[in-house]
Amino acid sequence: MDLHIVWFVLWGVLWGVYFMLDGFVLGAGMLHRVLGETDEDRRVIINSFGPVWDGNEVWLVTAGGATLAAFPTAYALMFSYLYTPLLLLLFGLIVRGVSFEFRGKEDGALWRGCWDWAIVGSSLVPALLFGVAFGNIFAGLPMDQAGYHGSLIYLLNPYGIVCGVLFVLLFLQHGALYLVVKTTGELSRSAEGAARVIWILLLLVAVGFLVSSYFSTKLYDNYLAAPIVALVPLLAVAALLSIRVFLAKGAHLAAFAASCATILGVVFTGVIGLFPNLIPSSLDPAFSLSIYNSSSSAYTLRIMTVVAFIFVPIVIGYKIWVYRIFRGRVSGASLAGDHEAY
């Protein structure tokens, strides 16, 4: 088996699972002030993902670590080329994490209001930047033998912005559906109303993404070469459409599951289109970073494969167990006797 390909797939899976899991935390965070009208609502929103958000974020750390271990050259160049957006992303994730912890530790309205808005901002910024970054990776970065010729402004090109908005809407949808399933009463109903509105916007932007990808990227080349893989984007579209059907039927959990599938589908659509590149060069394909010219040695890939194949299933196993422990809806009443909640 070609371990380069194994690690390419794992790389895609790590990012896909990260977006699927942190996506609803980012989405719920962005909706925190919109849907949470009272302090109790806002506590319910934070506590709906309170026990799991930290474990979800580790998928990002693992995706980063795996990129360094398996594709060090791609890691080095991607992170140094995208210096400023990654910095803003880090600030966002740092502020978000402490905001959850700090918010409930004082009673004042000003204190809580500040952390509330911090949560909204620190959820929006990473969501947008992930989209912009991946959009630019799909399209290729301007790099050649002299290095990188881009800048933060360059990254905010129309295609990058389409992808940024796509990610924001995907996560908003995901977060809204999560809150539909995890909360009760008025909050759950208003989350459902938000999900319906977001769905229409998401559909429009998704069409825009598929069309503009044709003009701005080479993602479709792989699909034309091997049409069978076009099943992935087709499934992503089907999942997106089915969200609306499930919502109409009142099958909320199915709608959330369809949203999970949509996010995985979008990520894999892009990743399959990139193959065998991790980061294409938009200037000259000779300078693209592929899984072959930027990978670790065969020995390192073997070691890392053994580790991944033993431990990733274990991680998935105990994560499922933990989600089962914390299944069920969170409400003001369920938090009332709980001194340990956020």
Q: Which residues contact 253 (CB under 8 A, 6 or more apart)?
A: 181
Is residue 297 near other proteins by the rule CB under 8 A? yes
Residues 209-248 binding other proteins (CB under 8 A) are none
70 makes contact with other proteins (CB under 8 A)? yes
C-alpha to C-alpha distance for 326 and 155, rounded to whole angstroms: 40
Closer residue to other proteins, CB minimum distance, 88 or 161: 88
H helix runs in the chain, sequence order = 3-35, 39-49, 53-70, 72-81, 83-103, 109-139, 152-155, 158-182, 185-216, 220-225, 231-249, 252-274, 298-325, 332-336
| Nearer Cβ to other proteins (82/236) | 82
Q: Which of 6, 9, 33, 51 binds other proteins (CB under 8 A)?
A: 51
Sign of CA dihedral 133, 137, 143, 149: negative
Answer yes or no whether residue 137 interacts with other proteins by CB under 8 A.
Answer: no
Residue with tokens 């099943």: 231
Give 252-281 as a DSSP string: HHHHHHHHHHHHHHHHHHHHHHHTTEEE-B
**Is 98 a residue that touches other proteins (CB under 8 A)?**
yes
Among 37, 101, 144, 221, binds other proteins (CB under 8 A): 101
Residue 183 and residue 331 in contact, taking contact as beta carbons nearer than 8 Å? yes
Q: How far is the CB of 17 from other proteins (least distance, A)?
A: 12
**Cβ 24 to other proteins, closest distance in Å?**
15
**CB 331 → other proteins: shortest distance, Å?**
12
- The Cα–Cα gap between 59 and 276 comes to 23
Does 69 sit near other proteins (CB under 8 A)? yes
Q: How many CB atoms lie within 10 A of CB 337?
A: 7
Binding of residue 107 to other proteins (CB under 8 A): yes
Q: Which stretch binds other proteins (CB under 8 A): 84-92, 165-173, 176-184, 264-272?
A: 84-92
113 binds other proteins (CB under 8 A): no
- Residues shown for the chain: 342
**317 near other proteins, rule: CB under 8 A:** no
Contact 217, 141 (CB under 8 A): no
Return the residue matching tokens 């009142």.
250
Which residue, 112 or 273, has its beta carbon nearer to other proteins? 112
In angstroms, the CA 241 to CA 243 distance is 5
Q: Measured from the CB of residue 303, what is the shortest distance to other proteins in angstroms?
A: 5
Q: Which is nearer to other proteins, 220 or 326 (CB)?
A: 326
Single residue of 131, 198, 308, 331 touching other proteins by CB under 8 A: 308
Q: Is 337 in the site for other proteins (CB under 8 A)?
A: yes
Residues that bind other proteins (CB under 8 A): 39-40, 47, 50-52, 54-55, 57-58, 60-62, 64-66, 68-70, 72-73, 75-81, 83-84, 86-87, 90-91, 93-95, 97-98, 100-102, 104-105, 107, 147-148, 296-297, 299-300, 303-304, 307-308, 311-312, 315, 318-319, 322, 325-326, 335-341
